[in-house]
Structure 1
Amino acid sequence: MIEKLPVFISITFGLITLITLWLFYNLLKKSTVEKIANPVCITLIIWLVLQAVLTLKGFYNTNTTVLPPKIMLFGILPAIFVIILLFATPKGRRFIDALPLKDITYLNTIRLPIEIVLFYLFLNKAVPQLMTFEGRNFDIISGITAPFIAYFGFTKQMLSRKLISGWNFVCLILLINIVANALLSAPLAFQQFAFNQPNIAILNFPFSWLPTFLVPIVLFGHLVSIRQLLIAR
């Protein structure tokens, strides 16, 4: 836990994480693979609990100079591996192609409150300014535009698939940008930025859920959307 951090910031972030899990569960329930919604949700809950235990035990916050960093080895890379596995296997691709695009797009709305939490973390010296919308982080654009893309693109069908694909590519670039800056400003072996006010948040509970759960979910959503839109073309 981060000392002297106002409790409402941690509670808000925890609620954002739980809401994201609930939205993803409902997304699965609306798909043609709804029978696996419960097992997937249970697996994700176990993953969140595991990450919470590791973080609360200080596992990610000690020996931060080792390579690869422990949060990457035990938190980020396993999630990336699962995504790769889904795209690389026939069963995984069938699962991917069964997910509803509109709901995946709406899911990106969570990026707006995440950006607000990051700003409060900056004010409390838990992340550098470059991780906020006042710095190098423009990911808030994705959160603001997501409901409009979902509504006008899929409910009203007023937007072309080419435009929606373009939006996904742009938002994916914005996501990669902030992830790169977040990792390079964290007090890890390869830190490059923000030595005066490093990104300590992702090594502490509950904010370790950002790189180990929220970012992989958003990344997965963009990759699924791009695949489905390209196949449709």
Structure 2
Amino acid sequence: MQPNLTYLLIEPPVWLAVAFVVITTLTLGGFLLAVHRSSPKLARPVLLGLLLWLTLLGVLASQDFFTTLNTVPTRLMLGLLPPLLFISGLFMSAGGRRFVDALPLATLTYLNSVRVFVELVLFGLYVHHQVPELMTFEGRNFDILAGLTAPIIAYFSFNRPTLSKRWLFIWNVMALLLLLNIVTNAILSAPLPFQQFSFEQPNVGILKFPFIWLPGFVVPVVLFGHFVSLRRLSQSRL
């Protein structure tokens, strides 16, 4: 079955794009705050590196790089793989693990609150035929629950510690599964050779500026935060 590409080259409303730029900025700021609290000297080079990556993704997306579908490998993978490889490198190297083990878990947990706003933008993209319904909270995407519970879990784990580390570990596992669920559905709904879902309204929104920052930056940051938290919590007594 061939996907319906009617809306592939139609831009979403400007207000949705502006909203997502704000979400990306909040994600960047929250992550830099975590880096600054653990390794102040690294905050500036990390900021520079992330800005370069965001700029590269933004420029490519604005030139319709990712909406060109007849390439091997698919161009979307070029936006997804670099951050995943970088995250893997951090956990595999001694210096990377020192960096990971110094990050404040409270800040990384609070950072998950941006997932609420991401879900609202995804719903807006669905209304404007840019993503399928299954990528929203009316479909198969329950990731908004992680965003809504993040400040509660963070507050009672760190600011007023009444929850045990075991509960924080369980929450991270559940939130990670919610993230993997939407990522899987998003990839399998995109107009790629291995598309499985939503041929009538495929996931074309994330191929455009600034929404390419969702798979290329926001999701990797949230994923990284869960990996850091689970590593640290698994090393402590639950």
Q: Same fold (TM over 0.5)?
A: yes
- Counterpart residue identity of residue 49, structure 2: T
TM-score (norm 2): 0.94
Q: Which amino acid aligns with 1:169?
A: V
Deviates more, 1:19-28 or 1:101-110: 19-28
Q: CA deviation at 1:4?
A: 5.3
Structure 1 consecutive aligned stretches of length 4 or more whose deviation exceeds 4 Å: none
| Mapped pair 1:7 → 2:11 | no
Partner of 2:219: 215
Distance 1:187 1:140, change over 3 A: same
Equivalent residue for 1:136?
A: 140
Q: Are residues 1:20 and 2:27 paired?
A: yes
Corresponding residue for residue 186 of structure 1: 190
Unmatched runs of 5 consecutive residues or more in structure 2: 1-7
Question: Corresponding residue for 1:110?
Answer: 114
Per-residue CA deviations over 1:10-55 (Å, capped at 9, x if unaligned) read 1000110011111111111111x22101100110000000000111
Calculate percent identity across the aligned residue pairs.
Answer: 50
In the aligned structure 1, how far is the partner of 2:208 from the partner of 2:9? 7
Instruction: Encode CA deviations 1:83-135: one digit per residue, 9 max, x unaligned.
Output: 00000011000000000000000000000000000001101100000000000
Superposition CA RMSD, Å? 1.1
Distance in 1 between residues matched to 2:79 and 2:206, nearest whole Å: 11
Q: Is the 8 A contact 1:67 1:189 kept in 2?
A: no
**2: CA distance, partners of 1:218 / 1:4:** 26
Give a deviation string over 1:127-179, Cα, whole Å, max 9, x none: 00000000000000000000001100111111111110010001101101000
Count the aligned residue pairs: 230
Of 21, 36, 40, which aligns to 2:42? 36
Bigger mean CA offset, 103-112 vs 1-10? 1-10
| Alpha-carbon distance in structure 1 between the residues aligned to 2:71 and 2:195 | 12
| TM-aligned CA deviation for residue 3 of structure 1 | 2.6
Query: What SS does structure 1 have at the residue aligned with 2:109?
Result: helix
Instruction: Give the distance between the partners of 2:162 and 2:196, measured in 1 at CA.
Output: 44
How much has 1:6 moved relative to structure 2? 1.9
* In 2, Cα distance between equivalents of 1:113 and 1:170: 19
**Pairing of 1:9-88 with structure 2 (within 5 A):** 9-31=16-38, 33-62=39-68, 64-72=69-77, 74-88=78-92
Partner of 1:8, secondary structure, is: helix
Structure 1 regions of 5+ residues with no counterpart?
Answer: none
Matches of 2:233 and 2:26, distance apart in 1: 26
What letter matches 2:137 in structure 1? F
Q: Secondary structure at the match of 2:140?
A: coil
Deviation at 1:65, TM superposition (A): 4.1
Give the Cα separation in 2 of the matches to 1:34 and 1:177.
34
Letter in structure 2 aligned against 1:95:
F
Q: 1:165-209, CA deviations, whole angstroms, 9 ceiling, x for partnerless residues?
A: 010001101101000000000111111110110000111111000
- Aligned match for 2:180, one of 165, 173, 176: 176
**Could you tell me which residue of structure 2 aligns to residue 198 of structure 1?**
202
Displacement after TM superposition at 1:5 (Å): 2.4
SS of residue paired to 2:224: helix
AA aligned opposite 2:75 = K
Shift of 1:232: 1.6
State the alpha-carbon separation in 1 of the partners of residues 20 and 131 from structure 2: 14
Matches within 5 A, 1:144-155: 144-155=148-159
